[in-house]
Structure 1
Amino acid sequence: MNIKKRCNEVGCRELIERRETYCEKHKGVVDKRYNDYRNKYDREYISFYRSPSWRKKRKEALRRDNWICKDCEQAGLYQIAEEVHHIIEVKDDWKKRLDIDNLVSLCKLCHNKRHNR
């Protein structure tokens, strides 16, 4: 059985796959609003995620976790990790942004769950 849910955009009644967040119509619009906000108000944060040091540390964390989502693995599932999550967020402790022990590999769905998206 293929379970569907509604798009998360307020007022949208489009049915989408359970693992998705927004329908095709709203996916780009919501991403743009979110990124516009971050780019406007938090330039240091954005430049960090574009830096070579972050890209290197991100790849190191993914290799350490064998490209497996750690939340899914705890549930007995094996999902490819596409994201690297800061356990203590960068905004809360800037000094831990490149600490390998503060990073965990997650799939997109689990990463979004951790951020309540």
Structure 2
Amino acid sequence: MPMTGRCREPNCHAVVVRPLHYCTKHADKEAAYQASRERWTNRTSNSKRYKDYDRMRSKDPFKAEQHKFYQGKQWRSIREIALRRDNYLCQYCLNHKRVRTGNIGDHIVPYEVEPENRTNLANIAIACSKCHTAKTKWEQLYYGTGMGNKLKNAIPIRNVKDLPDFQKNIR
């Protein structure tokens, strides 16, 4: 039996036999769609982009050491302990009376600010992807962390309860 799918035209629910993507009614759009896919296929791949990013990161010895830590066994085991301790729940969401699962181990005080505190389990909180992304942006403003930024002399916030509601700005 041939593989089938739906026509890519919005609100058209006609069945299409693969490798086509449009039904006979919208067949004139097939060539443009295939050309678009070809352009995306021939673009620089993500692996090259990440390779360039890794090359930039490895120029900075601190960033290279930080990357090595996050890839290591010690971080994986600390993260696993924190996941079990926090019951796989985002601590930033819980702090604002929302319940959401999380699987990202996040340093409350960023690694860049206090590298000596990187293995302290009290400095690790579990975060959902939304909170982690928002907190990373907040850290870049508050602490000056991130690639190319200069660290500020900010007072470290050590408790999840003292941090702002990151998702308030996302919704």
Output the TM-score relative to the length of structure 2: 0.47
Q: Does structure 1 residue 113 correspond to structure 2 residue 134?
A: yes
TM-score, normalised relative to structure 1: 0.66
* Alignment-derived partner of residue 57 in structure 2: 38
1:5-16 map, 5 Å = none
Unmatched runs of 5 consecutive residues or more in structure 1: 1-27
Q: Which amino acid aligns with 2:130?
A: L
Letter in 1 for 2:127: L
For residue 67 of structure 1, the aligned residue among 76, 79, 88 is 88
Q: Deviations over 1:40-94 (max 9, x none)?
A: 4321111000110110001111111000001111222211112111111111111
Aligned partner of 1:63: which letter? R
Of the structure 1 ranges 54-63 and 74-83, higher mean CA displacement relative to structure 2 is found in 74-83
The separation in 2 between residues aligned to 1:58 and 1:40, in whole angstroms, is: 27
Aligned length: 90
Report SS of the residue matched to 1:104. Answer: strand
Specify the SS of the correspondent of 1:79: coil
> Is 1:101–2:122 an aligned residue pair?
yes
CA-to-partner distance for each residue in 1:18-46, whole Å, 9 max, x for gaps?
xxxxxxxxxx59x8365554344321111
User: Structure 1 pair 64/116, CA: closer, same or farther in 2 (3 Å)?
Assistant: same
Between structure 1 and structure 2, the one with the greater Rg is 2
Query: SS at the partner of 1:115?
Result: helix
Question: Could you say if the C-alpha distance between residues 91 and 84 of structure 1 is closer, same or farther in structure 2, counting changes exceeding 3 Å?
Answer: same
Percentage identity across aligned positions?
A: 27
In terms of fraction of residues, the more helix-rich structure is: 2
1:69 counterpart letter in structure 2: C
Partner of 2:106: 85
Give the match's secondary structure for 2:126. strand
Q: Structure 2: where are the runs of 5+ without partners?
A: 1-45, 139-171
Q: Higher relative contact order at CA 8 Å, sep ≥6: structure 1 or structure 2?
A: 1
